[in-house]
């Protein structure tokens, strides 16, 4: 089986039961992606599949063969942090850091969804394409990522900053 | 998790053929429910037939509705410009469900056939008639805050967890199927079964039948449809009560009356619950608070509370009335413009 992971083609023969999360962590030693609940409930395992955020714990490695996978390890360019990573540092978007790789990958996916004009559950006018990334919008759109330390204020500030807008409460 | 074989289907016909050939085969959508249940050994398929590459389009129908392929992701349905404009309750229902990550993975077919989130169904050490026919039901006397007040039986009180399905129930959607005997269609509201004595039988699907598409009929009043979900936290939680609704007013009569209405409930019933009783009370009647209250009461007349969920009766009543009132206000505005 083959996957493109962080821009590199990687190969491995794995049992069909292997999740994408275990493939990354156990077979390719990419341990940045975290295992929290292993059942889709926490978002610690969030990665980007062909640019879209998903939970790696619920995806079977075999099912995403041939696809493009980006993990937190693939975001920085050399020593230059991805803007969202830099924003997390600047705004204290973490305490223990366990949820952070998932939060950051999720925020990258969120930014792309905003660019495409996609609505969320709290978007009043579902037909609008220019949606203001308000505090409520960001909280709702990041709700798939839990943080046990409760660093949510820093996380929302970091995501807002990286989207290049001030968040209105 | 038990070992299984994996096959990526290239077309629907071949998927069905594969399923017929192998005992214990199951179709695999996004896997967000099935993989989870396999990990808990609640599901033990011997083969997974991956159908996510099939039917990934949303097309206009000749009738003026939309045909949504079973492999389209939940996120793609919710984000589709035509769905947002013509069937906003469907976008809203999907967007209130799960998380962005899960909606990017989950498919339409999988959402329809997702299993209940009843904790006793998930826990293989507990008694559950749905998981193991005849074993008994631990939910009846257990933690049943999330369980059904409508459509339940002495053998099962588990709710159908889907938000998307509540919107589809209100929209009179149709489900397109392909099986060993060929194609057929089912009204969405006939797809899911109430548990009765056989809670393990959840749908009217025949063995090896594959869902190929969900069809939305044209429904002009759906432009002003909405979906409201009430839950224990503001996001990323299943519904305690949810309401899908739309209303058409007739303002030509002396009293403003309700010309047409669609109402469906989630979080309270064993299947996506079309509120037929309430609709019957509403149609043709004056658009007043009394009518709305009578309709909600008619729907809930047969509601049966469990030890931990009696609050749902009053909650469902209030949310139904509030939502219908709001739809009436919206319809008045719509009528002026
Ligand atoms: C943490 C968490 C929170 C969630 N919260 C919500 C929520 O708030 N609201 C909500 O509505 N849902 C919620 N969900 C459930 C989610 O919507 C479902 O898991 C998802 O829709 C299932 O789709 P899937 O494609 O991943 O299905 P799969 O898991 O792949 O399959 C589910 C079932 O459908 C069958 N199947 C799949 N495709 C077909 C087909 N084409 N024909 C025939 N059979 C098929 C499979 O065999 C399997 O039995 C949540 C899930 C998780 C994990
Ligand atoms: S580990 Fe995947 S969502 Fe928690
Ligand atoms: S920073 Fe500790 S869990 Fe989020």
Residue B128 lies in a domain: no
A128 touches chain B (CB under 8 A): no
pLDDT at A76: 96
Is ligand 2 within 6 A of the CB of residue A4? no
pLDDT at A167: 52
Number of domains in chain B: 3
The pairs formed by B17-26 with CB atoms below 8 angstroms and a separation of 24 or more are B18/B47, B18/B49, B19/B49, B19/B208, B19/B210, B20/B180, B20/B208, B22/B46, B22/B47, B25/B49, B25/B208
Instruction: Find the residue in B nearest to A58 (Cα).
Output: B32
Instruction: Find the residue in B nearest to A52 (Cα).
Output: B104
CA dihedral A13→A17→A21→A27, nearest 10 degrees, is: -30
Query: pLDDT at residue B161 above 80?
Result: yes
What CATH number corresponds to the domain at position B72?
A: 3.30.465.10
Residues B66, B48, single domain; the answer is: no
Instruction: Give the pLDDT band of residue A169 (cuts 50, 70, 90).
Output: very low
Proportion of chain A above pLDDT 90, given as a percent? 95
Chain A residues with CB under 8 Å of B50 CB are 63
**In terms of residue numbers, what domain contains B98?**
58-113+161-216
In this predicted model, what pLDDT tens digit does every residue of A2-26 receive, in sequence order?
999 999 999 999 999 999 999 999 9
Chain B residues with CB under 8 Å of A53 CB are 100-101, 104
> Do the Cβ atoms of B18 and B9 come closer than 8 Å?
yes
Residues B98, B191, single domain; the answer is: yes
Arithmetic mean of pLDDT, B242-247: 98
Residues B316, B267, single domain; the answer is: yes
Proportion of chain B above pLDDT 90, given as a percent? 97
Chain A residues with CB under 8 Å of B105 CB are 54-55, 58-59
pLDDT at B239: 97
Cβ contact A116–B79 (<8 Å)? yes
pLDDT at B142: 97
ipTM for the whole complex: 0.97
Arithmetic mean of pLDDT, B241-270: 94
Residue B141 lies in a domain: no
Query: pLDDT at residue B199 above 50?
Result: yes
Cβ contact B52–A110 (<8 Å)? no
Residue B148 lies in a domain: no
Residues B49, B174, single domain; the answer is: no
CA of B117 to the centre of ligand 2 (A): 17
Residues B303, B194, single domain; the answer is: no
Domains present along chain A, CATH in parentheses: 2-74 (3.10.20.30), 83-162 (1.10.150.120)
Residues B48, B96, single domain; the answer is: no
Of B36, B54, B72, the position where a domain reaches its end is B54
pLDDT at B251: 82
Arithmetic mean of pLDDT, B207-226: 98
In this predicted model, what pLDDT tens digit does every residue of B67-122 receive, in sequence order?
999 999 999 999 999 999 999 999 999 999 999 999 999 999 999 999 999 999 99
pLDDT at B252: 80
| A45, A98, A106: residue to mutate for ligand 2 pocket, most atoms within 8 A of CB | A45
Is ligand 2 within 6 A of the CB of residue A101? no
Ligand 1, atom 21, residue with closest C-alpha:
B111
Is ligand 2 within 6 A of the CB of residue A148? no
pLDDT at A168: 46
pLDDT at A129: 84
Proportion of chain A above pLDDT 70, given as a percent? 97
Chain B interface test: which of A21, A118, A136, A141 (most B C-beta within 10 Å): A118
Residues B100, B181, single domain; the answer is: yes
Phi, psi of B171 (to 5 degrees): -85, 0
In this predicted model, what pLDDT tens digit does every residue of B307-323 receive, in sequence order?
999 999 999 999 999 99
Query: pLDDT at residue A95 above 50?
Result: yes
Q: How far apart are CA A18 and CA A26, in angstroms?
A: 10
pLDDT at B337: 46
Give the mean pLDDT of chain B. 97
* Interface size between A and B, measured as CB pairs under 8 A: 104
pLDDT at B126: 98
Closest-CA distance, A18 to chain B, in angstroms, reads: 10
Residues B307, B211, single domain; the answer is: no
Residues B65, B204, single domain; the answer is: yes
Residue B265 lies in a domain: yes
CA dihedral B213→B217→B220→B221, nearest 10 degrees, is: -80
Arithmetic mean of pLDDT, B16-21: 98
Residue B63 CB partners (closer than 8 Å, separation 6+): B217, B218
Query: pLDDT at residue B53 above 80?
Result: yes
Residues B109, B232, single domain; the answer is: no
Residue B129 lies in a domain: no
Cβ contact B39–A52 (<8 Å)? no
Residues B210, B314, single domain; the answer is: no
What CATH number corresponds to the domain at position B22?
A: 3.30.43.10
pLDDT at B103: 98
Residue B126 lies in a domain: no
pLDDT at B335: 64
pLDDT at B110: 98
Arithmetic mean of pLDDT, A126-131: 92
Residue B145 lies in a domain: no
CA angle, B182 then B183 then B188, to 5°: 140
A62 touches chain B (CB under 8 A): yes
CA of A155 to the centre of ligand 1 (A): 29
The ligand minimizing its distance to the Cα of A45 is 2
Residue B154 lies in a domain: no
Arithmetic mean of pLDDT, A93-107: 98
Question: Residues of B near A (CB-CB distance < 8 A)?
Answer: 1, 3-6, 28, 30-32, 35-36, 39, 48, 50, 52, 75, 78-79, 81, 84-85, 88, 91-92, 95-96, 98-102, 104-105, 234-236
Residues B181, B251, single domain; the answer is: no
């Amino acid at each position: 089986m083959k996957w493109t992971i962080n821009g590199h083609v990687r190969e491995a023969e794995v049992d069909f039961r292997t999740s994408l999360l275990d493939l990354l962590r156990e077979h390719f030693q990419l341990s940045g992606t975290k295992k929290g609940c292993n059942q889709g409930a926490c978002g610690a395992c969030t990665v980007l599949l062909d640019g879209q955020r998903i939970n790696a714990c619920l995806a079977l490695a075999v099912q995403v063969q041939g696809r493009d996978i980006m993990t937190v390890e693939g975001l920085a360019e050399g020593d230059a942090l991805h803007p969202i990573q830099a924003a997390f540092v600047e705004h204290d978007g973490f305490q223990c850091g366990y949820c952070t790789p998932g939060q950051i990958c999720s925020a990258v996916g969120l930014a792309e969804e905003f660019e495409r004009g996609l609505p969320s559950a709290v978007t009043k006018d579902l037909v609008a394409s220019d949606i203001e990334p308000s505090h409520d919008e960001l909280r709702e759109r990041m709700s798939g990522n839990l943080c046990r330390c409760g660093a949510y204020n820093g996380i929302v500030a970091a995501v807002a900053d990286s989207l290049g807008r001030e968040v209105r409460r | 998790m038990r070992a299984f074989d994996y096959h990526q289907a290239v077309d629907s016909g071949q998927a069905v053929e594969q399923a017929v050939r192998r005992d214990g085969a199951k179709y695999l959508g996004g896997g967000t429910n099935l993989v989870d249940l396999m990990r808990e050994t609640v599901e033990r398929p011997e083969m997974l037939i991956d159908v996510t590459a099939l039917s990934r389009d949303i097309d206009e129908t000749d009738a003026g509705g939309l045909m949504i392929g079973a492999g389209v992701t939940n996120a793609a349905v919710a984000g589709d410009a035509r769905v947002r404009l013509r069937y906003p309750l469907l976008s809203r229902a999907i967007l209130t469900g799960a998380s962005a990550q899960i909606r990017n993975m989950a498919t339409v077919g999988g959402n329809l056939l997702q299993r209940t989130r009843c904790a006793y169904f998930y826990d293989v050490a507990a008694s559950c008639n749905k998981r193991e026919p005849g074993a008994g039901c631990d939910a009846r006397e257990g933690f049943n805050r999330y369980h059904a007040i409508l459509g339940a039986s002495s053998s099962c009180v588990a709710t159908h967890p889907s938000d998307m399905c509540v919107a589809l129930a209100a929209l009179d959607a149709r489900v397109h199927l392909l099986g060993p005997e060929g194609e057929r269609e089912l009204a969405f509201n006939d797809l899911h079964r109430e548990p009765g004595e056989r809670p393990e039988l959840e749908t009217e699907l025949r063995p090896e039948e594959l869902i190929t598409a969900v069809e939305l009929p044209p429904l002009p009043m759906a432009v002003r449809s909405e979906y409201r979900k009430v839950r224990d936290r503001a996001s990323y939680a299943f519904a305690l009560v949810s309401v899908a609704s739309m209303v058409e007013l007739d303002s030509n009569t002396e009293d403003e009356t309700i010309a047409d209405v669609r109402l469906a409930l989630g979080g309270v019933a064993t299947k996506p619950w079309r509120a037929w009783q309430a609709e019957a009370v509403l149609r043709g009647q004056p658009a007043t608070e009394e009518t709305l209250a009578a309709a909600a009461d008619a729907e809930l007349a047969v509601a049966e509370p469990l030890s931990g969920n009696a609050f749902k009766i009053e909650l469902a009543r209030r949310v139904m009335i509030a939502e219908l009132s709001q739809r009436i206000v919206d319809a008045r505005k719509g009528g002026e413009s």
